[in-house]
A and B are shown apart, each in its own frame.
Chain A
């Protein structure tokens, strides 16, 4: 059932985002053509032609920046609205009466939202690469040769890269779940739901900070800082240190993710307040 929910969630999110993703790529192509190709073609031409090229460059540049801002805004709005409208608004009357559990609804929304954010980041990077021109494509073989070199030197480097990527995705999902938990708390209010959601977001962020401070104090009392600084710089030990740091970061991110998921799930199960 979660798979079916994900399928419908993708369809609802993709319709708007696909237009913006395509528009950003088109705008970056236009801007790239006007700022590189046209400028080169009209090099040494009359002043009038050069002015025209500058105007076209300014317009396409402005278009690109506007669509880039729209992409950032739309991504954030889609993440929030797909949850708010889909589960806490009128659509909630359909979604909450489907024969599925609340955690399946939350998971489907969360996974698709994370996918949308990741795709937006990839599209933004591709558009920047287009702006940088063909020369930027040489970076791709450089990256692969770098990976091959690292693999040859010590295959464990690749493991570290994969672990860091996993933590980044987990961290993204955690941030989305924090927004969901805040919105779920906000819907408890009869009025001023958005205001309470905002206050809940600040409250949850503060709680996480306090949690980290307490954890830091506990680590300090066990002389963890001394332990880490005493780690010698040999390759084997540095790998061990990186694994320790990654494990701690993974654990802390996972704890937050699970906590935000539980908050959201419990509220939607026990205190759903559809207007």
Chain B
């Protein structure tokens, strides 16, 4: 079992044109944890995940995963679930399973096949003809059938019904490599609170909080969902005051 820090971010910023999506992020993440990356829409969660898995490069600063800059090695140890379907139209379930077996040494094909069979998904089924929910489940099966050191799950429970949310979270918890770390980005806190060890709050591109769930609960005596609401509370627009007219 590996020890030590898994992710290190040193003063990481990412700008898209004039817009600063991440602003001077400093972060250190250990191993064997389930971490919630929590923030409202547009706060920079997806940008952070894309930086970690090397899809984009930081404008400033440095990121190290298992002591290495994002590249071929880090892609071998990261299992990534994006917030969209990424299969080619022509592929069948068998094709994607073969692809993962060939490219990732840590992929457990038997496990993936059994998980598909449990959902009544046949190897010959074409991805193109599947419903959106089934396609997402196949993607989740692929990602969780790897014995990765880092799982990056971008909004895995967004846009699915409560029953599917339960299925997804149970699949994550029962299948991740316990020596590895899982980072789940979401704004649906109440659903995932029960499975989290740590939380990272991200607001307008800044990491505003990184603490263990137990510490937060002990300090504030509230659920993570309530702390999140307090942190990201927005003043609702109440209409124009008559006196201001």
Chain A residues packing against B (C-beta within 8 Å) = 1, 4, 8, 11-12, 15, 85-86, 90-94, 96-101, 190, 269-274
- A14 to chain B: closest residue by CB: B90
- Complex contacts, A100 vs chain B, CB 8 Å: 72, 75, 103
- Complex contacts, B50 vs chain A, CB 8 Å: 274
**Total contacts A-B at CB 8 Å:** 55
Chain B residues packing against A (C-beta within 8 Å) = 16-17, 50, 53-57, 72-73, 75-76, 78, 80, 82, 84-88, 90, 95, 99, 102-104
Report A72 CB to chain B, min CB distance, Å: 22
- Complex contacts, A85 vs chain B, CB 8 Å: 88
Report A121 CB to chain B, min CB distance, Å: 23
- Complex contacts, B104 vs chain A, CB 8 Å: 99
A97-B54, A274-B55 known, 12 other contacts, Cβ within 8 Å: A4-B103, A11-B95, A15-B90, A92-B86, A93-B55, A94-B87, A96-B54, A97-B78, A100-B72, A100-B103, A101-B72, A270-B57
Complex contact A91–B87 (CB within 8 A): yes
Complex contact A90–B72 (CB within 8 A): no
- B154 to chain A: closest residue by CB: A93
Taken together as a complex, chains A and B put the C-alpha atoms of A37 and B57 apart, in Å, by 65
Task: List the 10 closest pairs (A to B, CB-CB), nearest first.
Answer: A94-B86, A93-B86, A99-B75, A93-B82, A99-B76, A99-B72, A97-B80, A15-B90, A98-B103, A4-B102
Taken together as a complex, chains A and B put the C-alpha atoms of A204 and B50 apart, in Å, by 30
Taken together as a complex, chains A and B put the C-alpha atoms of A94 and B72 apart, in Å, by 14
Once A97-B78, A100-B72 are accepted as A-B contacts, the answer to whether A12 and B55 lie under 8 Å apart by CB is: no
Taken together as a complex, chains A and B put the C-alpha atoms of A7 and B26 apart, in Å, by 41
Taken together as a complex, chains A and B put the C-alpha atoms of A99 and B75 apart, in Å, by 5
- Complex contacts, B99 vs chain A, CB 8 Å: 8
- A97 to chain B: closest residue by CB: B80
The listed residue (B76, B82, B84, B90) touching A11 by CB distance below 8 A is: B90
- Complex contacts, B57 vs chain A, CB 8 Å: 269-271
Could you say which of A4, A85, A90, A94 has the most chain B C-beta atoms within 10 Å of its C-beta?
A94
- Complex contacts, B76 vs chain A, CB 8 Å: 99
- Complex contacts, B90 vs chain A, CB 8 Å: 11-12, 15
Taken together as a complex, chains A and B put the C-alpha atoms of A239 and B94 apart, in Å, by 55
Report A264 CB to chain B, min CB distance, Å: 16
- Complex contacts, B88 vs chain A, CB 8 Å: 12, 85-86, 91
Complex contact B86–A91 (CB within 8 A): yes
Once A12-B88, A86-B88 are accepted as A-B contacts, the answer to whether A97 and B53 lie under 8 Å apart by CB is: yes
Report B145 CB to chain A, min CB distance, Å: 15
- Complex contacts, A98 vs chain B, CB 8 Å: 75, 103
Taken together as a complex, chains A and B put the C-alpha atoms of A131 and B86 apart, in Å, by 43
Taken together as a complex, chains A and B put the C-alpha atoms of A112 and B78 apart, in Å, by 28
- B76 to chain A: closest residue by CB: A99
The listed residue (A12, A93, A273) touching B84 by CB distance below 8 A is: A93
The 10 listed contacts between A and B (C-beta, < 8 Å) are A1-B103, A4-B103, A85-B88, A91-B87, A93-B55, A93-B80, A94-B86, A96-B55, A98-B75, A100-B72
The listed residue (B56, B73, B84, B102) touching A90 by CB distance below 8 A is: B84
The listed residue (B16, B55, B80) touching A272 by CB distance below 8 A is: B55
Complex contact A90–B85 (CB within 8 A): yes
- Complex contacts, A99 vs chain B, CB 8 Å: 72-73, 75-76, 103-104
- Complex contacts, B86 vs chain A, CB 8 Å: 90-94
Report B59 CB to chain A, min CB distance, Å: 11
